[in-house]
Amino acid sequence: MIVRELTAKNIITKSNLPSADYVINPYVGCSHACIYCYARFMKRFTNHEEPWGKFVDVKINADELIPNNLEKYRGKKFFIASVTDPYLHYEREYKLTRKLLEKLVDIDAQIDIQSKSDLIVRDIDVLKQFNNCKAGITMTALDDTIRREVEPYTASVEKRVTALQALSEAGLFTYVFIGPIFPYLTDWIGIIERTKPFVKEYVFENLNVKGTIWQDIANWLRGKHPELYQKYYDIYFGRSDYWAVEEARIAEYCRQNGIRHRIYFHHGKE
Ligand code: SF4
């Protein structure tokens, strides 16, 4: 892993996401190295030759880039983070996310912070100071063997469940981002059952295999789940209604069980 400190030029970026006005990414790159990572396109924009997942740039001046006059951001929605994880283990030392949050508290920003690490609980004291804060934990699998295969350097399933419990007990609005859903492997009902005492909302996203992601997914399937390779191929490159059926199943399950949810499914083929 190549870790560099850099002096960044800006830290608040206008968002293309439907649910946020701005995004904040305290780090460039991501050591979690998820095989499905959609943020790998960032490599092109940051002049990195190392493979995605093998470099992290630490924006050591991140909090200084928050302007003194924050009035234009008052009440706006911030998503932390869109192309990295705000709680990479480097955050233990650098505390960039924490310092950024401390600055945003003053303007009553609406915060949506999402991570695959239980380090998020360190900042409960700051998160609680926002009037409007959503704290999300991502879960792609309930089985730690699968989790390790697809997100090798993230926190274990059990640590994430414990983090959700701590966030919930602190009175925060908690959600679980179930995504990406891996066909035949992501037990989303199991994830809901395991976490629902601590969770207010579930967000669902299906696996997207755009660009170079398919190659990594295909290699993983061939190595670890060869019986699923053809099934995945048919879903993404054949005439399959797999995701339409799955989306309807999720909606129906949530309706029947009174589960607050959002579904962000892509139905494009590749
Ligand atoms: S945690 Fe997010 S940004 Fe980091 S590698 Fe995984 S999917 Fe990509």
Q: Considering just the CA atoms, what is the radius of gyration of the chain in Å?
A: 18
* pLDDT surpassing 70 at residue 269: no
User: Which helix (H) or strand (E) element contains residue 247?
Assistant: helix 242-257
Q: Say whether 261 sits in a helix, a strand or coil.
A: strand
Nearest to 224 by CA among 159, 154, 152: 152
- Measuring from atom 7 of ligand 1, which residue has the nearest CA? 37
Number of domains in the chain: 1
Q: Which atom of ligand 1 approaches the CA of 81 most closely? A: 3
Question: What is the pLDDT at residue 32?
Answer: 96
Question: What is the pLDDT at residue 107?
Answer: 85
Asked whether residue 112 is assigned to any structural domain, the reply reads yes
Taking the CB of residue 65, how many other CB atoms lie within 10 A of it? 16
Which one-letter DSSP state was computed for residue 123? G
Asked whether residue 179 is assigned to any structural domain, the reply reads yes
- Measuring from atom 6 of ligand 1, which residue has the nearest CA? 34
pLDDT band at 89 (very low <50, low <70, confident <90, very high): very high
Maximum pairwise Cα distance, the chain? 57
CB of 85 shorter than 6 A to ligand 1: yes
CA-CA distance, 214 to 216, in Å (whole number)?
5
Domain with 177 in it: what CATH number?
Answer: 3.20.20
- CA distance readout (Å), 85 to 166, 184, 237: 19, 26, 30
List the beta bridge partners of residue 175.
Answer: 136, 201
**pLDDT tens across 26-79, in order?**
999 999 999 999 988 776 777 788 888 999 999 999 999 988 888 889 889 999
Asked whether residue 59 is assigned to any structural domain, the reply reads yes
What share of the chain has pLDDT > 70, as a percent? Answer: 98
Asked whether residue 200 is assigned to any structural domain, the reply reads yes
**pLDDT tens across 101-160, in order?**
999 998 889 999 999 999 999 999 999 999 999 999 999 999 999 999 999 999 999 999
Nearest to 254 by CA among 191, 170, 179: 191
Q: Which atom of ligand 1 approaches the CA of 154 most closely? A: 1
Asked whether residue 125 is assigned to any structural domain, the reply reads yes
Which one-letter DSSP state was computed for residue 82? S
CB of 30 shorter than 6 A to ligand 1: yes
Cross-sheet strand order for the sheet of 201-206: 12-14, 22-24, 77-80, 110-115, 133-138, 173-181, 201-206, 261-264
Beta strand spans in the chain (E): 2-6, 12-14, 22-24, 27-29, 55-59, 77-80, 110-115, 133-138, 173-181, 201-206, 261-264
Q: Say whether 59 sits in a helix, a strand or coil.
A: strand
**pLDDT tens across 189-233, in order?**
999 999 999 999 999 999 999 988 999 999 999 999 999 999 999
**pLDDT tens across 230-247, in order?**
999 999 999 999 999 999
Asked whether residue 269 is assigned to any structural domain, the reply reads no
Strand 173-181 to 201-206 pairing: parallel
Asked whether residue 270 is assigned to any structural domain, the reply reads no
CA-CA distance, 73 to 106, in Å (whole number)?
11
pLDDT band at 268 (very low <50, low <70, confident <90, very high): low
CB of 42 shorter than 6 A to ligand 1: no
Asked whether residue 50 is assigned to any structural domain, the reply reads yes
Question: What is the pLDDT at residue 108?
Answer: 82
Q: Which atom of ligand 1 approaches the CA of 83 most closely? A: 3
* pLDDT surpassing 90 at residue 99: yes
Residue range of the domain that includes 80: 2-264
- Measuring from atom 8 of ligand 1, which residue has the nearest CA? 37
What's the pTM?
0.96
Token pair in block for residue 78: 């911030």
Residues 6+ apart with CB under 8 A from 60: 5, 6, 7, 94, 96
